[in-house]
Amino acid sequence: MSWQEILGHDDVLAQFQQCVARGRLASSFLFIGPAGVGKHTFALKLAEALLCPQADLPRLEPCGDCLSCRQVRDRSHPDLDLITRPADKSVIPLDLLIGDKEHRMREGLCHRLAIKSCYGGRKVAIIDDADYLNQEGANALLKTLEEPPANSLIILVGTSRQRQLPTIRSRCQIVRFQSLEARTVAKLLIDLGLVSDREQAGRVAEIADGSLRRAMDLTDPELWTFRDEVQSVLQRRVPDPTAFTSELIEFVEVAGKEAGPRRRRLQQVVLFATEFYRQQLRESIAGLSCDEHREWSTADAATETITELIECGLETMTHIDRNANLATLQHWWVDELARINARLAS
């Protein structure tokens, strides 16, 4: 994969090229931005360029053919360390950072970074899911971030500054990644062969809110069928919370027994609802009325109430990310929608 294939982040690449050209590349970075916009892919490409012995460093262009480049792409490079939150854990385990209780500071990421490079060059560590570093994990990283080993680079990948502990933020240079443009997401869907119809790719991209990951989930035909049902329910002034919750739980459970796929499916449903309310907000602000056959009418809908419905969805997304109990969360979200909507009917 070349830099040309990592779309939407040319400005970030230019920043790193300038730093390398001036010999002022920092040792610790915090990548923040929406999920699914390419932060991890960018970090891996950067690692490939920095570890490649034949790279054009001022342009951060790896040769792409040497053993080092192939190993980075295969995630097997001895000087590249990748840490991610296990699917069954709510936080990044301390053991991954400093070893288990019997091997504290003799195993784990911090120990491996301190060991001499296998190839005599740099060492690069990428910590995905930095949003899930708890206080104990962040404290374990402090010394390494404050006194990084020579020729080492640490990249933490998260979503926002607010979700990082102050001890992490203060010791890393923050690099902001923006949401992808809808046309970029649509192009990637076509290029990856996930969608063959350009019209469908555009429709999915508009709803994905700048995230390729969300767009990839949205290529599931079952989601689009349920989307129509969700919007039909939300068009009523006061949705029946009992019936809607039952339908929602059944739809989420179809995703399988694993928590990960269920959470992603619930995220998509919440996004569908948020998409609906954002459209209502746009129409309300513009002073437009909905179709006379619909039960919802934005003509008498208070803008602040619609905004509260959107905020409810955003809060629900945060709880999903933090591994809240799914059954409880689904009941809470639907009950909140019904409560807020009830004010519009009064």
Confirm whether 304 is domain-assigned. yes
The 10s digit of each residue's pLDDT in 142-198 is: 999 999 999 999 999 999 888 898 989 999 999 999 999 999 999 999 999 998 889
Q: Answer whether residue 97 is part of any domain.
A: yes
pLDDT surpasses 90 at 47: yes
CB 211 within 8 A of CB 37: yes
Percent of the chain scoring above 70 in pLDDT: 93
* Res. 301: pLDDT tops 60: no
Task: Compute the distance between CA of residue 69 and CA of residue 51 in angstroms, rounded to an integer.
Answer: 8
Asked, for residue 184, whether it belongs to a domain, the answer is: no
> Given 143, 176, 209, which residue is the final one in a domain?
176
| C-alpha span between 175 and 159 (Å, rounded) | 11
Average pLDDT for the chain: 89
pTM: 0.81
Same domain, 149 and 75: yes
In the prediction, which pLDDT does 179 show? 94
Determine the Cα–Cα distance for residues 256 and 49; give it in Å rounded to an integer. Answer: 39
Comparing CA positions, the residue from 324, 206, 201, 341 lying closest to residue 266 is 324
If one counts the domains in the chain, the total is 2
Q: Label residue 345 by pLDDT band (50, 70, 90).
A: low
Residues 18 and 106 in one domain: yes
| 201 domain residue, yes or no | no
Confidence of residue 109 (pLDDT cuts 50, 70, 90): very high
CATH number, domain containing residue 143: 3.40.50.300
Judge whether 230 lies within some domain: yes
- How far is CA 72 from each of CA 1, 46, 79, rounded to the nearest angstrom? 11, 10, 9
Domain membership of residue 320 (yes or no) is: yes
The closest of 80, 173, 92 to 128, measured between CA atoms, is 92
Question: Has residue 188 been placed in a domain?
Answer: no
Q: Is the domain of 73 the same as that of 160?
A: yes
Cβ-contact 341, 309 below 8 angstroms: yes
Q: What is the pLDDT of residues 192-204, one digit of tens each?
A: 999 888 998 998 8
Range of the domain at 103: 3-176
